[in-house]
A and B are shown apart, each in its own frame.
Chain A
Amino acid sequence: MTTGDTVRLVEATTPRTAELPPLERVSPGSREELASLLAEASASGRRLLIWGGGTHQGIGYPVEADLVVDTSRLDRIISWEPDDLTLVVEAGARVAEIEAELATKGQTAVLPEVPGGATVGGVVAAGVSGYRRCRYGPTRDRMLEVTLATGDGRIVRGGGRVVKNVSGYDLPRLATGSLGGLGVIVSVCLKLWPTRGFRATVEVEDPAAAWRRLYRPLAVLQTPRGSFAYLEGVPDEVVAKADALGGRWTEGHQWPGPPDGEYVVSIRVRPSDVARAVEVIPAGWDYVAQHGVGEITAAGAGSDTVERLRTWAESRGGWVVVLWAPPDSPVDPWGTPPQGLDLQRRLVGAFDPARVVNPGRLPGRI
């Protein structure tokens, strides 16, 4: 077996964080305070930009706001039931702190592995997932319950604090990735997973083949600096798999940070197109490609490159979503709008009739 120095691990960079705009800022300390702020904004037409950790503020059309509402004071763990594998947490809680707490009892909410200052609410609102979605599914699959303050200041709850539930419409999933379209996420109940056993990061030559060969790896990532399979489980089995994959591995999981550049984009394609997507990315661009998932985060310069990547991805039934762009970017942040845009508009209108929460940010400038 080979460990340590022989594995060239990817350096974990810190995610980019947006600068707060020069606007008045309020930090509600309770959901009631938040709700009355929203009711007042709806009555007066004051437009609000919702702020968590600032790590996903580059997504969507720029928001013209009058006031920043930051969720940093809504950061409590409301309940953690380790024996039931559920966690109820307020939106402003930091992902890094929550995961550190959960790890003390060998559990995880499978939130992004390199979160920077990201908050739970921000991750849910942006609909982003960690690399381990390859094994555990996306963040929305762990959303058991959501409490929202709607645009017009009502507190509404959907779902429940149990792992299986069909009681009415799935508001928790609808809220995931809604970027403020339904209001402000106050708290969520997340399904947790136990993390058991021995961990290894294995260097692989052919990541697509490694994904096909492994039974449910946590992740298989490809970067310009190497490709890695992430394993966890019974020690003998993990070591046997690591050896079978080529034998260059190290204990523990070392995750790459998100690439950074003038443009940072999320290329989303069917899983079998990941290898092709990597070939389409030009030299000089950095990327992390998730095999088995279909998401490639890529960063580099040139709006024309982004347009070219988008044309290619959309021709294959996929999407390119801009995560960060320069202020004067000519690139549309979403690309071709999804089907059912009128329906999305009606849904947003029902929850935020005066359209005061992150107005215009969603596809179709909803």
Chain B
Amino acid sequence: MASPGRRLALGAVTLAADLRRVLGADRVSDDPLERHLYGKDAGVFRGRAALVVFPETTEEVAEVVRIAEEHRVPVVARGAGTGLAGGAVPEEPAVVVALTRMNRIWDVDLDDRTAWVGPGVINLDLSRETSPHGFHFAPDPSSQSACTIGGNVANNSGGPHCLLEGSTVNHVLGLEVVLTGGEVITVGGAAPDPPGLDLRGVLVGSEGTLGIVTKVLVKLTPNPPDVRTMLAAFGTVEDAAATVTGIIAAGIVPAALEIMDRAMVEAIENWLHAGLPVGAAAVLLAEVTGETATVEDEARTIVEIAQANSAREVRIASDEAERALLWKGRKSAFGAVAQTAPDYYLHDTVVPRTRLVETMGRIYEIAAKHGLAMMNVFHAGDGNLHPLIPFDSSDPEAWEKVQKAADEMVELCVRQGGALSGEHGIGREKRDLMPLAFGEDDLAAQACIKAAFDPSETFNPHKVLPRGTSCFDRAVPIPEGAWI
């Protein structure tokens, strides 16, 4: 009798053969290197792909799902692999469905301000395509030059400008999705409020656990007529955070409000020379958009609030080149960390904006307590923190300390009334932390959603919800004749 491992290997061979009948030999890979590469995202976890497939059409994705279900092998959808929470890392040997070849932009409709796009379209490519016509795709994660729209949908991605514009879910009007059994449905559309439950809303942010999205109807946002980008330098991080709270409290919702701390500013300046004020404890990057009178009025108020919170220096970008340089500094922050340490652990948590000042102070205390360095660059305007801990993963003790500190930071944020993740998702990274934020019944309700969509547990299993979470154990007797 064959060992379990042997049986699995034989299964993989027939699975590969079935998939090759649909996709051809060149789009089903069992190459060890490819399986290794597709077993990881940009975060710290590693899994292993049984096979990697590269479908090009919706029908092919549906066939892949059908075949995988027949073989009882899970499927894990994947875009560019820029996720940080292990969402695209197979937890058990799975067919990794790389959607990068489904990268067409169809039907850019400027009258309706929409576009149908493939999940493999790169975020920035969409805005580049539509920008000459005066529109863009609003979600702008720092990885936007690499990440895909499908990945944005899976993680409900944000970015600096979602303070004003909202996250991906606010910019997705419709989805074509492959469900269990290879069923293909379209939910939502260009017309508002379709009848029935909002399946579109629950699919966005579901991290590939409910189905595979094969087409996305995105909303295009008009480019603002005018913009002011300003920078304020502070002697303490608390002063910068208080400025953010003050701006929101003054009734201004800027396009973006970003804070970088001293360590981060130094790392960026060493590399980019963007003219950021080195030596300041914190730098606030604020941007307001709209018509000229509005942006001037709001910029004036923001400068006043920054000065009232002891800003050492406030400057407004004088032209587009200076503005672009400031944003380049912000968006390349994570790359700049490479000069500090070979690895970094990047966190993503949220607190109510009124708790920013207190929370920031305590996050620095946690890092100091564990003897860890820490850099911060984050979406302060919506309370979305990104503490970044540089470390060397070849030192096992360092990694242990990093994890411990990271868990304490999450716990702190949840206790402050915050959330586990603002834009990176739960994936595998925070799956077991979900009980910090939700009770048993809350998690069971989420498991009900998973079970209704994916009864065979084919789609990206063991993500988002802790192992063992299941839909309600029905204690309530069901009356005779009731429909279930």
Instruction: Write the residues of chain A forming the contact surface with B, with a CB cutoff of 8 angstroms.
Output: 39, 42-45, 81-86, 106-107, 127, 129, 137-138, 140-141, 148, 150, 152-158, 160-171, 173-174, 176-178, 181, 193-196, 215-216, 233-234, 236-237, 240, 266, 268-273, 293-295, 313, 316-319, 321, 334-335, 337-341, 343-344, 346-351, 353-355, 362-364
Complex contact A174–B192 (CB within 8 A): no
* 8 more A-B residue pairs beyond the given contacts A161-B417, A167-B419, A266-B193, with a C-beta to C-beta distance below 8 A: A43-B477, A45-B482, A84-B383, A106-B251, A127-B193, A162-B352, A337-B196, A348-B197
Which residue in chain A gives the minimum CB-CB distance to B417? A161
Q: Within 8 Å of chain A (Cβ to Cβ): is B354?
A: yes
Tell me which residues across on chain A come within 8 A of B109, comparing CB atoms.
Answer: 272
Complex contact A167–B192 (CB within 8 A): no
Q: Within 8 Å of chain A (Cβ to Cβ): is B484?
A: yes
CA of A171 to CA of B248, assembled, Å: 27
Tell me which residues across on chain B come within 8 A of A364, comparing CB atoms.
Answer: 196
Q: Within 8 Å of chain A (Cβ to Cβ): is B432?
A: no
6 residue pairs of the A-B complex, CB under 8 angstroms, read A84-B248, A170-B206, A173-B201, A271-B190, A343-B452, A347-B197
Complex contact B294–A234 (CB within 8 A): yes
- Shortest beta-carbon distance from A129 to chain B in Å: 8
Tell me which residues across on chain A come within 8 A of B382, comparing CB atoms.
Answer: 162-164
Tell me which residues across on chain A come within 8 A of B346, comparing CB atoms.
Answer: none
Chain B residues numbered 434-484 whose CB sits less than 8 Å from any CB in chain A: 434, 437-439, 441-446, 448-453, 464-465, 471-472, 474, 476-479, 481-484
CA of A137 to CA of B446, assembled, Å: 26
- Majority SS of interface residues in chain A? loop
Known: A152-B476, A158-B442, A215-B291. A166 touches B186 (CB 8 A): no
What's the tally of chain B residues with a CB closer than 8 Å to chain A?
98
Known: A83-B353, A173-B202, A174-B449. A268 touches B192 (CB 8 A): yes
Instruction: Write the residues of chain B forming the contact surface with A, with a CB cutoff of 8 angstroms.
Output: 109, 111-114, 155-156, 158, 162, 166-167, 169-170, 179, 185-187, 189-199, 201-202, 204-206, 210, 222, 224-225, 245, 248-249, 251-253, 290-294, 297, 350-354, 379, 382-384, 417-426, 430, 434, 437-439, 441-446, 448-453, 464-465, 471-472, 474, 476-479, 481-484
Complex contact A156–B192 (CB within 8 A): no
Tell me which residues across on chain A come within 8 A of B354, comparing CB atoms.
Answer: 81, 83-84
CA of A104 to CA of B434, assembled, Å: 37
Complex contact A164–B471 (CB within 8 A): no
Identify B351's interface contact among A82, A162, A295, CB under 8 A.
Answer: A162
Complex contact B202–A169 (CB within 8 A): yes
Tell me which residues across on chain B come within 8 A of A158, comparing CB atoms.
Answer: 442, 445-446
Complex contact A170–B205 (CB within 8 A): yes
Tell me which residues across on chain A come within 8 A of B464, comparing CB atoms.
Answer: 168-169
Identify B198's interface contact among A176, A237, A353, CB under 8 A.
Answer: A176
- Shortest beta-carbon distance from A273 to chain B in Å: 8
Known: A164-B167, A170-B169, A344-B199. A138 touches B193 (CB 8 A): yes
Which residue in chain A gives the minimum CB-CB distance to B209? A169
Complex contact B191–A269 (CB within 8 A): yes
Ranked 10 nearest A-B pairs via Cβ:
A173-B201, A194-B251, A45-B479, A350-B448, A272-B111, A237-B293, A270-B190, A346-B452, A318-B191, A156-B445
CA of A299 to CA of B327, assembled, Å: 50
- Majority SS of interface residues in chain B? loop
CA of A337 to CA of B195, assembled, Å: 8
CA of A347 to CA of B446, assembled, Å: 11
Tell me which residues across on chain A come within 8 A of B471, comparing CB atoms.
Answer: 350
Which residue in chain A gives the minimum CB-CB distance to B157? A166
Complex contact B113–A271 (CB within 8 A): yes
Known: A158-B445, A362-B197. A237 touches B291 (CB 8 A): yes
Tell me which residues across on chain B come within 8 A of A321, comparing CB atoms.
Answer: 193, 195
Complex contact A339–B195 (CB within 8 A): no
- Shortest beta-carbon distance from A126 to chain B in Å: 10
Complex contact A162–B417 (CB within 8 A): yes
Tell me which residues across on chain A come within 8 A of B430, comparing CB atoms.
Answer: 167
CA of A233 to CA of B289, assembled, Å: 13
Identify B465's interface contact among A168, A170, A316, A354, CB under 8 A.
Answer: A168
Which residue in chain A gives the minimum CB-CB distance to B224? A215
Q: Identify the interface centre among B114, B205, B450: most chain A CB within 10 Å of its CB.
A: B205
Complex contact A334–B249 (CB within 8 A): no
Tell me which residues across on chain B come within 8 A of A181, comparing CB atoms.
Answer: 197
Identify A167's interface contact among B252, B437, B451, CB under 8 A.
Answer: B437
CA of A195 to CA of B251, assembled, Å: 7
CA of A177 to CA of B120, assembled, Å: 31
Tell me which residues across on chain B come within 8 A of A196, comparing CB atoms.
Answer: 251-252
Complex contact A164–B199 (CB within 8 A): no
Tell me which residues across on chain B come within 8 A of A340, comparing CB atoms.
Answer: 179, 185, 187, 196, 199
Identify A160's interface contact among B195, B424, B437, B450, CB under 8 A.
Answer: B437
Complex contact A355–B483 (CB within 8 A): yes
Known: A164-B167, A215-B224. A350 touches B451 (CB 8 A): yes
Which residue in chain B gives the minimum CB-CB distance to A160? B419
Q: Identify the interface centre among B383, B419, B423, B444: most chain A CB within 10 Å of its CB.
A: B419
CA of A167 to CA of B446, assembled, Å: 10
Known: A196-B251, A237-B293, A354-B479. A164 touches B196 (CB 8 A): no
Known: A150-B445, A157-B439, A363-B196. A317 touches B352 (CB 8 A): no
Which residue in chain B gives the minimum CB-CB distance to A139? B193
Complex contact A164–B379 (CB within 8 A): yes
Which residue in chain A gives the minimum CB-CB distance to B291? A237
Which residue in chain A gives the minimum CB-CB distance to B436? A167
Complex contact A166–B423 (CB within 8 A): yes
Complex contact A140–B198 (CB within 8 A): yes
Identify B112's interface contact among A155, A169, A270, A353, CB under 8 A.
Answer: A270
CA of A166 to CA of B427, assembled, Å: 10
Complex contact A162–B187 (CB within 8 A): no
Tell me which residues across on chain B come within 8 A of A86, comparing CB atoms.
Answer: 352
Complex contact A347–B449 (CB within 8 A): yes
Complex contact B253–A194 (CB within 8 A): yes
Which residue in chain B gives the minimum CB-CB distance to A142? B166
Identify B195's interface contact among A138, A271, A334, CB under 8 A.
Answer: A334
Identify B441's interface contact among A156, A169, A236, A272, CB under 8 A.
Answer: A156
Complex contact A152–B472 (CB within 8 A): yes
Tell me which residues across on chain A come within 8 A of B423, comparing CB atoms.
Answer: 164, 166
Tell me which residues across on chain B come within 8 A of A140, comparing CB atoms.
Answer: 198, 201
Tell me which residues across on chain A come within 8 A of B445, comparing CB atoms.
Answer: 148, 150, 154, 156, 158, 171, 351
Which residue in chain A gives the minimum CB-CB distance to B225? A215
Complex contact A344–B441 (CB within 8 A): no
Identify B205's interface contact among A83, A162, A169, A362, CB under 8 A.
Answer: A169
- Shortest beta-carbon distance from A334 to chain B in Å: 5
Known: A82-B249, A354-B479. A166 touches B441 (CB 8 A): no
Complex contact B191–A215 (CB within 8 A): no
Complex contact A353–B195 (CB within 8 A): no
Complex contact B353–A164 (CB within 8 A): no
Which residue in chain B gives the minimum CB-CB distance to A340? B185
Known: A156-B445, A168-B434, A234-B297. A344 touches B474 (CB 8 A): no
Complex contact A353–B193 (CB within 8 A): no
Complex contact B441–A353 (CB within 8 A): no
CA of A351 to CA of B198, assembled, Å: 15
Which residue in chain B gives the minimum CB-CB distance to A151? B476
